[in-house]
Chains A and B, each alone.
Chain A
Amino acid sequence: MTHLEEELKELKQQVTKMFVLVHSQLEKSYLSLQNLDKDIAHEILMTEKRVNALELKIDLDCENYLALYNPVAVDLRYVLAVLKINSNLERIGDIAEGIARFVIDSSTTFSNELIMHTHTNQMFDVSLKMIQDAEDAFINEDTSLARIVFKQDVILDNININANNNIINFIKNNPDDLEQCLHILSTIRKLERVGDQAKNIAEEIIFYIEAKVIKHSRKL
């Protein structure tokens, strides 16, 4: 392995670390929301600083790599893809932090019924799975797995579209839970964006491996 390849391998390890960290942040935000666990929510806020620091480090590593090694072809696409994957992951980190803040601000527990009725639980499961699949696709350079990420996004979109009606129905029967309902609606909107970000990441993986631009097109 040449020393340039070693640098790329090191970069890949950093990005993998970012995937793991961000996945764990979103998973914890789910846990803290289910149990109104404010300790976990505070832990998420602390860890968010590490996510931000790692984002900056990866950006800097990419800048250095571009400046020092002038990569071309697949190596160039790889570094360009990593820059975008990195910023999408950082935004997922922000979303986990946002959900943690709802938990911290909330005075009463989110009822299980509300979470189930609005399919928020399913949204968490699907978006976590999408991040995991994107991570595996990135590690193994597996573009068919990257394509599976797109398919899952449809589920999130549907839940999001139906969210208003679901929430309205729930409020009718539980008018006292208004604050909770608003937090859950915001959480659903956030998770819908996690889906978009995972999709963007999958697009970047396909771009760097296959040199195909998937963005803004329906063709997979």
Chain B
Amino acid sequence: MIEAKNLNLYYGAFHALKDINLKVAEKSVTALIGPSGCGKSTFLRTFNRMNDLIPGVKIEGDIIVDDENIYQKGIDVDRLRKRVGMVFQKPNPFAKSIFENVAYGMRVNGISNEKVIKEAVEQSLKQSALWDEVKDSLKKSAYALSGGQQQRLCIARALAVEPTILLMDEPASALDPISTAKIEELIHELKKKYTILIVTHNMQQAARVSDFTAFFYMGSLIEYDLTKTIFTNPAKQQTQNYVTGRFG
């Protein structure tokens, strides 16, 4: 189970997330939408404690991941980040071979059995729908891949350490329409095994890929419901204004 409880986040004096309460449904896709600067990425980063790295950040409230408050003392953040994988807007492969990009997380985690690594790499590349395109060129540099392929490689890299949750921050916004469609189709497949939270500024994308949608505005969670409901009959006028493009 994943849940935010009375979550507040401050960048110095700036109140960036205001008393957020939200339960995420497992093995489904939850989209975070809202105008730029409303706090989507900040909220997403609270699930793997990435905000901890930013100086001056103060966090109050609880984030529960698998029955555990991840902000309590003594939490092993490395272990947490294995369970909660992240994919960013710009594909960020390492300057290594395709194979080593995917193997990286396992090596860092101390796995040294080459047979195990090889199998996991293949498995992850299959799950990210990239295997058929790269199986004959695993030794090539990741930089030789197209942007869309690089993004699927980053997804494979995240999957290789066997997370249960995937955080995606605008994972397709730097990609062309065909690559975007592939990523969306991939997300649809991955939700059978993973719980996915995706930030997107593209409302149609949220509509296409997600089961639930959370609408944020100026640091507050305005409405959270089935995606169908948000896009056909939202409860709040503000949500309606946003999804119909009448905002502001």
By a beta-carbon cutoff of 8 Å, the part of chain A in contact with chain B is 2-4, 63-64, 67-70
Contacts and interface: CB of A to CB of B under 8 A. Distances in A.
Contact of B185 (A2, A68, A69, A70): A2
Nearest to B189: A3
Contacts of A63: 232
Given A3-B185, A3-B188, A67 B231 contact: yes
Interface in B183-209: 185, 188, 204, 207-208
Given A3-B185, A3-B188, A67 B208 contact: no
A69 B228 contact: no
B227 interface: yes
A68 B188 contact: no
Contacts of A4: 208
Given A2-B185, A3-B185, A69 B232 contact: no
Contacts of A64: 228, 231-232
B87 to A, nearest CB: 19
A70 B228 CA distance: 13
19 contacts: A2-B181, A3-B185, A4-B208, A63-B232, A64-B228, A64-B231, A64-B232, A67-B207, A67-B228, A67-B231, A67-B232, A68-B207, A68-B227, A68-B228, A68-B231, A69-B207, A69-B208, A70-B204, A70-B207
Contacts of B188: 3
Interface string B211-231: 000000000000000011001
Nearest to B185: A2
Contacts of B208: 4, 68-69
A67 B208 CA distance: 9
Interface in B143-198: 181, 185, 188
Interface of B: 181, 185, 188, 204, 207-208, 227-228, 231-232
Given A64-B231, A68-B228, 19 more contacts: A2-B181, A2-B185, A3-B185, A3-B188, A4-B208, A64-B228, A64-B232, A67-B207, A67-B228, A67-B231, A67-B232, A68-B207, A68-B208, A68-B227, A68-B231, A69-B207, A69-B208, A70-B204, A70-B207
B229 to A, nearest CB: 9
Contacts of B228: 64, 67-68
In this complex, which of A68, A69, A70 has the most chain B Cβ atoms within 10 angstroms of its Cβ?
A68
Contacts of B185: 2-3
Contacts of A67: 207, 228, 231-232
A64 B227 CA distance: 9
A22 B174 CA distance: 49
A64 B228 CA distance: 6
B148 to A, nearest CB: 16
Contacts of A70: 204, 207
A49 B1 CA distance: 40
A69 B204 CA distance: 7
A68 B228 CA distance: 7
A168 B89 CA distance: 79
In this complex, which of B185, B204, B231 has the most chain A Cβ atoms within 10 angstroms of its Cβ?
B231
A66 to B, nearest CB: 9
B210 to A, nearest CB: 9
A10 to B, nearest CB: 14
A16 B20 CA distance: 45
B200 to A, nearest CB: 14
Nearest to A66: B232
Nearest to A63: B232
A3 B187 CA distance: 11
A64 B231 CA distance: 8
A2 B186 CA distance: 10
Nearest to B206: A68
In this complex, which of A63, A67, A70 has the most chain B Cβ atoms within 10 angstroms of its Cβ?
A67
Contacts of A68: 207-208, 227-228, 231
A2 to B, nearest CB: 6
A217 to B, nearest CB: 34
B94 to A, nearest CB: 31
